[in-house]
Amino acid sequence: MSFFTELAHQYIDGEWKPGSGSWDIIDFNPYNGEKLASITVATAVEVDQAYRAAERAQRSWGATNPYTRRRVFERALRIIEEREEEITEAIVAELGGTRLKAAYELHLAGEFLREAVQLALRPEGRILPAPEEGRENRVYREPVGVVAVISPFNFPFLLTLKSVAPALALGNAVVLKPHQNAPVCGGTLVAKVLADAGLPDGLLNVVVTDIAEIGDALIEHPVPRVVSFTGSDRTGRHVAQVCAANFKRYILELGGNSALIVLDDADLDYAVDAAVFSRYVHQGQVCMAANRILVDRAVEREFTEKFVAKVRTLRVGDPADPETHIGPLINSSQADTVSSLVQQAIDSGATALLHGAVNGNLVAPSVLTDLPADSPVLQQEILGPVALIVPFDGEDEAVALANDTPYGLSGAVHTGDVERGVRLARRVHTGMIHINDSTVHDEPVVPFGGEKHSGVGRLNGESMLDAFTTQKWISVQHGRSRFPF
């Protein structure tokens, strides 16, 4: 595939070049093990070059008319639409994403680019009152300067654009480090699209590397003022500590352990459909996925029977096959981890209504119930096709179970009474929650983010202004001030 030949490089100051490290990141197809690309890692030298290029380019870009800036994203949208099939094939090959998942990712990427077009014009200044005659208080919205973006492997094309496009639209420059398992879809492919759309050189730089090579150079470097990180809470904690020590702003979009709650008056067939999608989309490798399905004991038996029957219909296999629902996990380490979690839960007393077989990186769905209240699997994010069904008695217990986790990203409530659902949803400590729908949602204009270990800050819509701009107060004294001495 040409993308994996053409784009297997670093991208710094408008040039495609090899890294100067002593080892390579190998990009594999997680389904068949095919080697897609070999990329020599960037060192701290390339990281510095990327930041210096971004710093130089941002000065003129920040002063560019926003109507001019937004044209880049209008063209990028057209390019993605024109190259949809090629990008789909890349997502299938590099991520093991099904064609359905690729279509969903590209649709959302287009929506976020449309929002970036509008966002370029969104910053507004203000004039505030002053206590003294003749004084004028002006507040300006200005770009922060240079933004570091660290993106994940699961929806890399979308989640990279989600931070990169708004940061650029608002007048910043970006240095991007994609995940090692998605260096093309989450990194160099984004750079290629924006470069072809006319983004000036130096404004987006991509360094394909690893902490084993550069340590904390990416986030300790003096140039970036904001770090946007999407990934695990363990790594996010470290990013926050380094940023705080260096007085940098950070936005953390981290993991989840979301609960989909089925009340006793829910439409069970619909709730089953929502729960199956919420748990098994992209093999469960989604931060918003419904790890835990909480079901009122009054309808538990009927719901569980319908849920298991639906899960049995999911096809596991080649992600390039349009009929496939569940493709491979991203790598063998993740497949082994998920398999071990299921076995540990069973050994601790859980009942496996389905125990999915493992074949390479393909992990078939599992459904567990009768979990002990202290089962560790109830407390953690599971990036794999494993559903946990937990019964409850009444709304108070449902809320207590939903909140019994260090995470607080997404959730859902299914009920025949919408306002009942809203009342319960407001008691769940989570950044986002949906009534009579799935737990997996993202929209360009709503505040996206989590509570507790699920993150710090919000993205999307007006939140992008807070994330990627800063406010400057300039006062103007018309006439002469009087001073006490």
Rounded-to-integer distance, Cα 113 and Cα 168, Å: 11
As a dihedral over the C-alpha atoms of residue 438, residue 440, residue 443, residue 445, rounded to 10 degrees, the angle is 90
Annotated catalytic residue 287: yes
- Over range 19-36, report the average pLDDT: 97
Q: What are the tens digits of pLDDT across the range 434-445?
A: 999 999 999 999
- Over range 152-176, report the average pLDDT: 98
Examine the pLDDT at 156 and tell me if it is beyond 90: yes
- Contacts (Cβ under 8 Å, ≥6 apart) of 414: 260, 261, 262, 263, 266, 267, 270, 271, 274, 421, 435, 436
DSSP single-letter state for residue 225 = S
Assign 77 a pLDDT band (cuts: 50, 70, 90): very high
- Over range 243-260, report the average pLDDT: 97
Give me 216's structure tokens. Answer: 């904390």
Instruction: Decide: pTM greater than 0.85.
Output: yes
Assign 56 a pLDDT band (cuts: 50, 70, 90): very high
Residue type, 45: V
Annotated catalytic residue 136: no
Examine the pLDDT at 52 and tell me if it is beyond 90: yes
Closest of 334, 381, 331, 342 to residue 365, by C-alpha: 342
> Dihedrals φ, ψ of 448, to 5°?
-110, 125
- Over range 439-460, report the average pLDDT: 96
Examine the pLDDT at 247 and tell me if it is beyond 70: yes
Choose the catalytic residue: 213, 253, 381, 395: 253
The pLDDT assigned to 379 comes to: 95
**Are 349 and 370 within 8 A, CB to CB?**
yes
Start-to-end C-alpha separation, the chain: 74
Examine the pLDDT at 1 and tell me if it is beyond 60: no
**Are 47 and 35 within 8 A, CB to CB?**
no
DSSP single-letter state for residue 131 = S
| 169, burial (CB in 10 Å: exposed 0-12, middle 13-18, buried 19+) | buried
> What's the Cα-to-Cα distance from 218 to each of 163, 222, 381, rounded to whole Å?
16, 9, 27
Choose the catalytic residue: 287, 300, 381, 395: 287
- Over range 395-424, report the average pLDDT: 98
Assign 482 a pLDDT band (cuts: 50, 70, 90): confident
pLDDT above 70 as % of the chain: 100
Examine the pLDDT at 105 and tell me if it is beyond 60: yes
Angle subtended at Cα 130 by Cα 126 and Cα 132, rounded to the nearest 5 degrees: 155
Rounded-to-integer distance, Cα 456 and Cα 462, Å: 16
The pLDDT assigned to 88 comes to: 97
Going from N- to C-terminal start, the domains of the chain cover 2-254+454-473, 259-435
**Are 478 and 134 within 8 A, CB to CB?**
yes
Examine the pLDDT at 358 and tell me if it is beyond 60: yes
DSSP single-letter state for residue 185 = I
pLDDT above 90 as % of the chain: 98
The pLDDT assigned to 402 comes to: 98
Radius of gyration of the chain (CA): 24
CATH code, 259-435: 3.40.309.10
> What's the Cα-to-Cα distance from 433 to each of 36, 254, 408, 422, rounded to whole Å?
38, 16, 10, 9
Rounded-to-integer distance, Cα 237 and Cα 453, Å: 9
Examine the pLDDT at 239 and tell me if it is beyond 70: yes
CATH code, 2-254+454-473: 3.40.605.10
Q: What are the tens digits of pLDDT across the range 179-237?
A: 999 999 999 999 999 999 999 999 999 999 999 999 999 999 999 999 999 999 999 99
Exposure string (b/e) for 65-94, b if CB count within 10 Å is 16 or more? eeeebbebbebbbebbeebeeebbbbbbbb
Rounded-to-integer distance, Cα 436 and Cα 266, Å: 8
Average per-residue pLDDT in the chain?
97
